[in-house]
Amino acid sequence: MPTPLIAVTTDAKDLEKYTWHATPQPYLDAAISTAGVLPVLVPSLGDKYDLDSLLETVNGVLVTGSASNVYPALYGGDATDENGPYDHARDATTLPLIRRAIEKGVPLLAICRGIQELNVALGGTLAMEVHERDGAFDHRGDEEAAFDARFAIRQSVKITPGGCLAGLFDTSEIAVNSVHRQAASAVAPRLQVEAMADDGTVEAVSVKDAPGFALGVQWHPEYWAHNDNASARIFKAFGEAVHRHATARISARIAAE
């Protein structure tokens, strides 16, 4: 069987007088080397897509992190310059893509901004600046630090018993590299909390009624997927789901012939 394709979301960035559609390489490396799938970048072109055609072509969706934030008006919030930057083209692409992938049972892994998009796509809201809440940790990374230091594994999260993540790990707590300004506030009704930080911040969710694998994590398993067991386990589980989905599709096509 050919290596299954997955759709990988992109940011729309203005550079050299062009609009570029791009995603950081660690997501692509983790998809290829750890999940065993082939990533295909999906430009942020909004309603120019036929999502059904896209999702018939790929067997998984990886929603990446980003420095930009979901536009607050999409979940009833007020936008300010301080809570930016924003990426309207990405919002217009990822939110409907997430909803349609879940509906069609295409495996979905949403990371950092991705878990926030997942929550908003299904009717949840976001806390804009988590570190400003009373008793909250400062989950932000040091933007001046080297990447290995910025994305260092330094925070523990408690895993919800009986959930999707609990099925991946034989422990109730794992160490992660959670680097973010925003997080889920009101969790969408269709989502189940899979992990939380000690300050009450939602760090992982799954879609309760999804017909396929649908997981969102606030941390960055892509960065250490090559040498951290917990990070690798998440990408391997996603890859296994993608391969199962691809195999099931091939079997269905053969049976229909």
Would you name the residues annotated as active-site residues?
112, 220, 222
Closest by CA position to 199, among listed 159, 150, 139, 152: 139
Instruction: Name, in order, each residue with C-beta under 8 angstroms of 17's C-beta and a sequence gap of 6 or more.
Output: none
The DSSP result for the chain, as a single string, is -PPPEEEEE-EEEEETTEEEEE--HHHHHHIIIII--EEEEE---GGGS-HHHHHHH-S-EEE---SSB--GGGGT----GGG--B-HHHHHHHHHHHHHHHHHT--EEEETHHHHHHHHHTT--EES-GGGSTT-------TTS-HHHHT---EEEEEPTTSTTTTT-SSSEEEE----S-EESSPPTTEEEEEEETTS-EEEEEETT-SS-EEEESS-TTTTTTT-HHHHHHHHHHHHHHHHHHHHHHHHHHHH-
| Residue where the block lists tokens 């990371």 | 111
